Amino acid sequence: MRKGYILKESFKTWLGAIKEKFPLIAPVQDDGLTLFKEVEKVDDIVLDYGITRMPPKDLFFPQTEKMFRIKNKNNVAIELESPEKVTDELVLFGVHSCDLKSILALDPVFTTRFPDRYYQERRDKTYVIGLSCTKALPTCFCTAYGINPTDADGADVHLTELGDKYLVEVVTERGEKLAAAIPGIIFEDTTNLEAEKAKLTEKVKGEIKFIDLTGVKEVLDENFELPLWEKWAQKCLGCGICTYVCPTCHCFDINDFNRGDGVGERFRCWDSCMFSDFTRMAGGHNPRPTKKERVRNRFMHKLKYHLDRYNIVGCVGCGRCVQRCPENIDIRAIISDIKGGV
């Protein structure tokens, strides 16, 4: 890993140089929400945000993605036309450590057993620039999963704001490619900056209430039925907020769209295990008939199934579901209930 720095006074110029070369996606204010969006002006980028309303997963796994076009050829055959190119190269800037980790948690889903060309291409063509947190929100709990709020894990290039400089860590080969393409990083000794980063890490970690996960996985390994699921499920509205604002939730549905004129397209779109029809079969049977089974599935997925399947966390402690759940279903409180064995 190469390390260097960018002077704050030349930082916007550096971002501007990126924007010259690539579409630049970064946190911006949009109608009262902080969202990852394509940047129109570098000045619009929000550098000191707490957390974006929506996670960055949309960049790799869009909520709605066209897969191919279907054309009926005189009722004898159908023609399928896949897009040759899914995306252009782009730069995703300003991703915090929890969200960086979430991308790593999505990778094995879409690139290992069932490689997905859409996800893969988007992933391959996106340069991810991470940004350390300088403050924590009351809903943050990344440290529960061994994530530090300044971790560079998952970024190609990672930045940390320290006084009048940004410490730059070039993490991957793709990061090297980006650094080479966009001049402005000063590769000099960064020992002092690294010491300051360590201090910042401790400061922000200190602002985060530590959630101890010891024993949680073990309880879930041994127990499918626990009274706590019914307790939490009865508070649930069965909406999809928690799954859609979650940076690691990745369920999707596949649908066709056509106007009845023989031309249509197949698309996939996000789906949610919290919806009552998520597991409903064609014959009407539903293996998860009530909110209890559905709520249990979501939290088992976050705390156990993803780890079992991919050996990487299924929750990164971003706290979006805690912030947005209309009925305040709080995974931190559920973790505490699991540990209490209720």
Partner 1 sequence: MLKEKIKSTVTELLENKRIDFVIGYGAGSDAGTVRPAFVKSVEEVEQLIWSPFAVNNLAKFVMDHLYENIKIGVIVKGCDSRSVIRLVQDKVFPRENFYVIGVPCKGILDKNKVAKDFDLSGDLVDFTEQGDEVILKTSKGEFKLRKEDYLLDKCYRCETPTPVVYDVLLGEEVAPFRTDDYEDVKAIENLSVEEKSRYWDKQFEKCIRCYACRNVCSACNCRDCVFDMAEPNWVGKAANLSENTAFHLIRAWHVAGRCVDCGECSRVCPMGIPVNTLNRKMIKDMKELFAVETPGKNPEQGPVLGTFRTDDPEEFM
- Residues 42-101 binding partner 1 (CB under 8 A) are 53-54, 63-64
Of 169 and 337, the one with the shorter C-beta distance to partner 1 is 337
Beta partners for residue 6, in sequence order: 166
Q: Please choose, from the candidates 308, 282, 280, 281, the residue with its C-alpha nearest in 3D space to the C-alpha of residue 294.
A: 280
Contact flag: residue 29 with partner 1 (CB under 8 A)? no
**CB-CB contact of 320 with 49 (8 Å):** no
Of 125 and 292, the one with the shorter C-beta distance to partner 1 is 292
Binds partner 1 (CB under 8 A): choice among 269, 308, 341, 342: 269
**CB-CB contact of 309 with 303 (8 Å):** no
**CB-CB contact of 69 with 264 (8 Å):** yes
End-to-end CA distance of the chain: 46
**Complete edge-to-edge strand list for the sheet that includes strand 263-270:** 77-81, 64-73, 263-270, 252-258
Contact flag: residue 272 with partner 1 (CB under 8 A)? yes
Per CB under 8 A, the segment of 85-93, 123-131, 213-221, 320-328 that binds partner 1 is: 320-328
- Residues 214-243 binding partner 1 (CB under 8 A) are 231, 234-235, 237-241
CB of residue 239 to partner 1, shortest distance in Å: 4
Number of neighbouring beta carbons within 10 Å of residue 340: 9
Binds partner 1 (CB under 8 A): choice among 203, 330, 336, 339: 330
CB of residue 330 to partner 1, shortest distance in Å: 5
Residue with tokens 């992933």: 123
Q: Please choose, from the candidates 184, 185, 80, 59, the residue with its C-alpha nearest in 3D space to the C-alpha of residue 122.
A: 59
Write the DSSP symbol of residue 45: B
Of 42 and 208, the one with the shorter C-beta distance to partner 1 is 208
CB of residue 142 to partner 1, shortest distance in Å: 17
Contact flag: residue 293 with partner 1 (CB under 8 A)? no
Residue with tokens 């501007």: 16
Contact flag: residue 270 with partner 1 (CB under 8 A)? yes
Contact flag: residue 255 with partner 1 (CB under 8 A)? yes
Residue with tokens 């000191």: 48
β 2-7/24-30 pair status: unpaired
Of 141 and 166, the one with the shorter C-beta distance to partner 1 is 141
What is the binding site for partner 1 (CB under 8 A)? 31-33, 53-54, 63-64, 138-139, 231, 234-235, 237-241, 244-245, 253, 255, 257, 267, 269-272, 275-277, 291, 322, 324, 326-330, 332-333
